[in-house]
């Protein structure tokens, strides 16, 4: 199955996903709000885990942007 790549600056297609807390989120419900969607495939290496941890350390920076 081919997957379209979402490119920077281009609107993402509408989709639903499950949050880390198990809540189903519809991207369309967030329209007009600042949104960061972080896709985490799985733990194949310690690098994947490290990147995810480093990403969470950026939360304050994202929050300060609104």
The one-character DSSP state at 13 is: P
Catalytic-residue membership of 26: no
Under 8 Å between Cβ of 34 and 65: yes
**Which residue is catalytic, options 48, 52, 58, 59?**
48
- Decide: helix, strand or coil at residue 21: coil
Q: Which residues are catalytic?
A: 48
């Amino acid at each position: 199955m081919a997957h379209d790549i979402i490119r920077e600056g281009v609107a993402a297609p509408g989709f639903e996903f499950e949050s880390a807390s198990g809540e189903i989120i519809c991207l369309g419900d967030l329209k007009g709000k600042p949104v960061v969607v972080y896709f985490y495939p799985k733990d194949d290496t310690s690098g994947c885990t490290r990147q995810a941890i480093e990403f969470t350390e950026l939360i304050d920076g994202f929050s300060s942007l609104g």
